[in-house]
Amino acid sequence: MSNFMNENLKGSWKRSEQYGACILKAKEAILEDKELRQHKEKGEKLLRTVHPTIEQLAHSLKSSNSVVVISNPSGILLHSMGDPVFLKDTEKIYLKDGACWSEQVRGTNSAGTVAMEQKPLAVIGKDHYLKSHHMLYCVGSPIFDPYGNLQAVLNVSGHADLYHPMTFGMVDVIARKIENWLLVRTQEEKMIISLYPEEKGIFEALIAINKHGQIIGVNREARTLLSLEKQGGKEMNINDIFKRPERIFDESVNGDGKMIQIESKNHKKLLASVVNSSPKLFSMNQSNKVEKRYAQPKINKRFTFSNIHGEDEHFVHALSLAKRVAETDYTVVVTGESGTGKEMVSQAIHEASSRSAQPFVALNCGAITKSLAGSELFGYEGGAFTGAKQKGQAGVFEQANGGTLFLDEIAELPMDIQITLLRVLQDFQIKRIGSTKSIAVDVRLITATNKDLWKKVEEGSFRADLFFRLQGIHIQLPPFRKRSDRLQFAKMKLMEVARELGRPQLSFSKDAENFIETYDWPGNIRQVSHALRQAAFASPTSRIEVNAFPPYMKNCNKTISQTGSLLQDRENETIIQTITKTKGNMSEAARILGIGRNTLYRKIESMRKNNIQIDYK
Q: What is the pLDDT of residues 266-291, one digit of tens each?
A: 777 887 777 653 433 344 433 344 43
Name the CA radius of gyration of the chain, rounded: 27
Local structure of residue 418 (DSSP, 8 states): H
What is the mean predicted confidence (pLDDT) over 216-231? 79
Question: 454-476 b/e with 16+ CB inside 10 Å = b?
Answer: eebbeeeebbeebbeebebbebe
E strand or H helix at 500: helix 486-501
Under CATH, what is the fold of the domain 3-184? Beta-Lactamase (3.30.450)
Same fold, 305-476 and 566-609: no
The stretch 93-108 carries a mean pLDDT of 93
How far lies 426's CA from each of 185, 269, 404, 422, 461, in Å?
A: 39, 66, 17, 6, 21
Residues listed for the chain: 617
Calculate what percentage of the chain has a pLDDT beyond 90: 35
Identify the weakest region by mean pLDDT among 104-118, 197-211, 421-435.
Answer: 197-211
Its CATH class, for the domain covering 305-476, is: alpha beta
pLDDT in tens, 545-568: 888 888 778 655 443 333 344 456
Strand (E) or helix (H) holding 25: helix 23-28
Can you tell me whether residue 273 is helix, strand or coil? strand
**Has residue 56 got a pLDDT over 80?**
no
Give the domain ranges of the chain. 3-184, 191-292, 305-476, 480-563, 566-609
Per-residue pLDDT reduced to its tens digit, 353-385: 999 889 999 988 877 777 677 888 888 887 666
- pLDDT by residue (tens digit) across 311-363? 899 999 999 999 999 999 999 999 999 889 999 999 999 999 999 889 999 98
* 285: exposed, middle or buried (Cβ count in 10 Å: 0-12, 13-18, 19+): exposed
Q: Domain spanning 566-609: which superfamily?
A: Homeodomain-like (1.10.10.60)
More confident of the two residues 135 and 48: 135
pLDDT at 198 over 70: no
- CB proximity list for 528: less than 8 A, separation 6 or greater: 480, 489, 490, 493, 521
Phi-psi region of 569 (alpha: psi -120 to 50; beta: other; left: phi over 0): alpha
Element (DSSP H or E) covering residue 263: strand 260-264
Q: What is the pLDDT of residue 386?
A: 62
**Hey, how many other C-beta atoms are within 10 angstroms of the C-beta on 542?**
12
Query: Would you say 398 and 441 are in contact if contact means Cβ atoms under 8 Å apart?
Result: yes
What local confidence, expressed as pLDDT, does residue 70 receive?
95
62 vs 145, more confident? 145
pLDDT (tens digit, 9 = 90+) per residue, 15-24? 999 999 998 8
**Beta strand 438-440 pairing with 121-124:** unpaired
Distance (Å, rounded) from C-alpha 484 to C-alpha 595? Answer: 11
Beta-carbon contacts of 25 under 8 Å, excluding residues fewer than 6 positions away, are 104, 105, 106
Which one has a higher pLDDT value, 153 or 54? Answer: 153
Distance CA(484)–CA(315), nearest Å, equals 10
Half-sphere exposure (Cβ direction) of 122: Cα atoms closer than 13 Å: 20
pLDDT at 485: 92
**184 with 218: CB under 8 angstroms?**
no
pLDDT the model gives residue 479: 94
| DSSP-based three-state secondary structure for 21 | coil
Q: Which amino acid is at 360?
A: F
CA–CA separation, 528 and 535 (whole Å): 10
Lowest average pLDDT, out of 132-136, 248-252, 607-611, goes to 248-252
- Report the amino acid identity of residue 390: Q
Q: How far apart are CA 208 and CA 186, in angstroms?
A: 9
Give the pLDDT confidence score for residue 136 in this predicted structure: 93
Strand partners, 271: 196, 261
Closest CA to 264 of 327, 173, 197, 312: 197
> Residue type for 393, please?
Q
Task: Show the DSSP H helices in 330-400 as ranges.
Answer: 342-351, 370-378, 396-399
Among the residue ranges 202-216, 219-233, 497-511, the one predicted with the least confidence is: 219-233
Mean pLDDT value across residues 575-580: 79
Is residue 511's pLDDT more than 70? yes
Three-state DSSP at 274 gives: strand
Question: Distance between CA atoms of 539 and 427, rounded to whole angstroms?
Answer: 56
Strand extents, DSSP E, 450-531: 473-476, 507-508
Listed residue (567, 534, 537) closest to 551, CA to CA: 534
Task: Check if the beta carbon of residue 411 is closer than 8 Å to that of residue 469.
Answer: no
Max mean pLDDT among 74-78, 238-242, 252-256, 587-591 falls in 74-78
Choice among 35-49, 140-154, 580-594 with the minimum mean pLDDT: 580-594
How far separated are the first and last CA of the chain, in Å rounded? 53
pLDDT at 313: 92
CB 333 within 8 A of CB 471: yes
pLDDT grade for 434, boundaries at 50, 70 and 90: confident
563 φ/ψ angles, rounded to the nearest 5 degrees: -70, -55
CB 141 within 8 A of CB 47: no
Percentage, residues of the chain above pLDDT 70: 83
Nearest residue to 382 via CA among 430, 454, 434: 434
**CATH tag, 480-563:** 1.10.8.60
Q: Higher pLDDT residue, 616 or 461? A: 461
| Section 163-173 average pLDDT | 87
Predicted confidence (pLDDT) at residue 230 exceeds the cutoff of 70: no
Alpha helices in 147-306 (DSSP H): 166-184, 220-225, 246-252
What pLDDT shows up at residue 567? Answer: 57
Residue 111: the pLDDT is 95
pLDDT in tens, 107-131: 999 999 999 999 999 999 999 999 9
- Assess whether pLDDT exceeds 90 at residue 228: no
What is the reported pTM?
A: 0.48
pLDDT surpassing 50 at residue 227? yes
- How far apart are the C-alpha atoms of 596 and 312, rounded to whole Å? 11
